[in-house]
Amino acid sequence: MVVVRGANAAQHVHPARNSGVPFDASWLDVLRVNQSAVERRTATLGTRRSVKKDAQAAWLLKAVTCIDLTTLNGDDTEGRVRRLCAKARRPVRADLLDALGFDPGAITTGAVCVYHRFVAAAVDALRGSGIPVAAVSTGFPAGLIPHPFKLKEIEASVGDGAAEIDIVVTREHVLTGNWQALYDEVRDFRAACGAAHLKAILATGDIRTLSNIAKASMVCMMAGADFIKTSTGKEGVNATLDVSLVMARMIREYRERTGARVGFKPAGGVSTAKSVLAYQILMKEELGRPWLEPDLFRIGASSLLADIERQLEHHVSGRYSAFNRHPVA
């Protein structure tokens, strides 16, 4: 059975930072992606492994601890953010946890992710919980504001208490193959983060090809990204298993070259318990057991939590309840 992290454990601890390496274009020259092979590999993830009953419940509880519980809507309010933080502290109903052998409050989400406007409120609402606040930054989701403003936004969120900064890269750098510019941009973001961890959003639905995704992943890690993330959740196509496999392979390649561990975050479209199990299996098979923990694996999600809780209720009671009985916050 998968062991889950409890809320009463030590304060959330990140792994050693990825300090990055000097830009080296030769690392990109050798990268090749066989799309047919990627598709064949991901097609087997849901068929070669079967996770059922108690094991499935354990994997789903583990997934809860890796969720970046997120609200990134134009109509967000401080009240909504505080409710989200309360759900992050107690993401699974106490009666279900009791039936599964856990104390109330034994499970928390991996983080809460909000716009800069709500960072201070989220930090206040989560005080004492050990749950970090992640702020989307750098002109999220398009990333088209002036570069100095991007740096100021990062600094402001860190100043308000964000422990993690989810930045968006300039897609034009990727689409035109200007890898030095992408490296320099992310390197500046890394410096502006200070002690906060940097999660680089590639917006894979916008940069289109698996080759672009592989190279952008490598450049962001070279520049010091602590996590690479698929999407903003606002693109036409967000997280998929195909792009996630390519990014996981780049994480593995980077670790072999540098010894540094970089985390991975699929975001957008991971909305069901069944889908999150496929991502967990991908992490376990491609990167190993450490990438099932929240210090190296996060899931950007909002509605996912409700479906996981619904599946856990079915495991306990044998009956499915209505989705609307399991609100996110």
Q: What is the per-residue pLDDT across 100-116, written as a single tens digit (0 to 9) for each?
A: 999 988 999 999 999 99
Place of tokens 């390197």: 187
Name the active-site residue from 160, 166, 188, 206. 166
DSSP symbols for 100-129: TT--TT----SEEEE-GGGHHHHHHHTTTS
**Structural domain boundaries of the chain?**
26-50+110-303
Q: Which two tokens stand for residue 164?
A: 């993690």
Name the active-site residue from 150, 229, 242, 307. 229
Would you call 265 a catalytic residue per the annotation? yes
Count Cβ atoms within 10 A of the Cβ of residue 161 and give its class: 0-12 exposed, 13-18 middle, 19 or more buried.
Answer: middle
Name the active-site residue from 62, 87, 215, 265. 265
Q: Are 139 and 182 in contact (CB under 8 A)?
A: no
The alpha-helical segments, DSSP class H, found in the chain are 26-29, 35-43, 53-64, 78-89, 94-99, 119-125, 147-159, 171-175, 179-193, 204-207, 210-222, 241-258, 273-286, 304-317
Q: What is the per-residue pLDDT across 196-234, written as a single tens digit (0 to 9) for each?
A: 999 999 999 999 899 999 999 999 999 999 999 999 999
Q: Choose from 4-13, 49-58, 109-118 the range with maximum mean pLDDT.
A: 109-118
Q: What is the per-residue pLDDT across 305-326, written as a single tens digit (0 to 9) for each?
A: 999 999 999 999 998 777 667 6
The reported pTM is 0.93
CA nearest neighbour of 223 among 245, 266, 193, 256: 193
Q: What is the per-residue pLDDT across 130-167, written as a single tens digit (0 to 9) for each?
A: 999 999 999 999 999 999 999 999 999 999 999 999 99
Instruction: Name the CATH superfamily for 26-50+110-303.
Output: Aldolase class I (3.20.20.70)
